[in-house]
Amino acid sequence: MISLQNGDKHLRIRPVLGKGQTMNLQIQLGTEKDIDELEQLYNDLNDYLEANINYPGWIKGVYPVRENAVNGVSGKHLYTVKYKNRIVGSIILSHEPEQAYRDVKWKIEADYSDVFVIHTLVVHPEFINCGVGSHLMDFALQCGREHHIKTIRLDVFEKNKPAIHLYEKSGYQYIDTVDLGLEEYGLKWFRLYEKIITETL
């Protein structure tokens, strides 16, 4: 349960797991039935970020929003991770890069039909630091191998230290820093990362 207490910008999180407990997480392709719950997850996470340290710089009503879930589900590239039938996280694995990606020297050359781009990786605030993010990153790698993807790429706001730590811990290599055109939201520079799955011949 998350709730703002007394309007004091302090978001209380009730721990879901006790010390030493492990989670049985299940990842599956998102469906239309998941969209309402995904929208609520996005809103809960943005409320939490607004009340605490907003590392990614996300804004409620701007990103992520219901439309991101709708597009991800309709494109069949949004995956949900569930704990006891509840969505606790999500990831989008598409072949659609930001325009700035095309001006960067990546580790390998590859057509984007052979590349996964990670978008909208989210974890519900009640499940932060429970391993959900790492589980999603492991899944992205497994999914990439199963689909014979050559490499996985992503971008992250330069001040998003927790996400940068997760990506580097998952073996992603820093490539470059670019402007994604989001300066109006206070998001000027983004770090690009890549994880090669199969080397080109």
Length of the chain: 201
User: Tens digit of pLDDT for each residue in 12-66?
Assistant: 334 444 444 557 899 999 999 999 999 999 999 999 999 999 999 999 999 999 9
Give the mean pLDDT of the chain. Answer: 89
| Whether pLDDT at 157 is above 70 | yes
Q: What one-letter code names the amino acid at 53?
A: I
For each of the domains in the chain, give its residue range(s) and CATH number, in order of start: 2-14+25-196 (3.40.630.30)
pLDDT at 18: 46
User: Tens digit of pLDDT for each residue in 159-176?
Assistant: 999 999 999 999 999 999
- Pairing state between β 173-182 and 187-196: antiparallel
| Whether pLDDT at 5 is above 70 | no
Tell me what percent of the residues of the chain surpass a pLDDT of 90. Answer: 86
C-alpha distances in Å from residue 41, one per residue of 2, 54, 91, 146: 11, 16, 12, 28
User: Tens digit of pLDDT for each residue in 111-140?
Assistant: 999 999 999 999 999 999 999 999 999 999
pTM exceeding the 0.75 threshold for the entire prediction: yes
- Tokens representing 75 are 């494109």
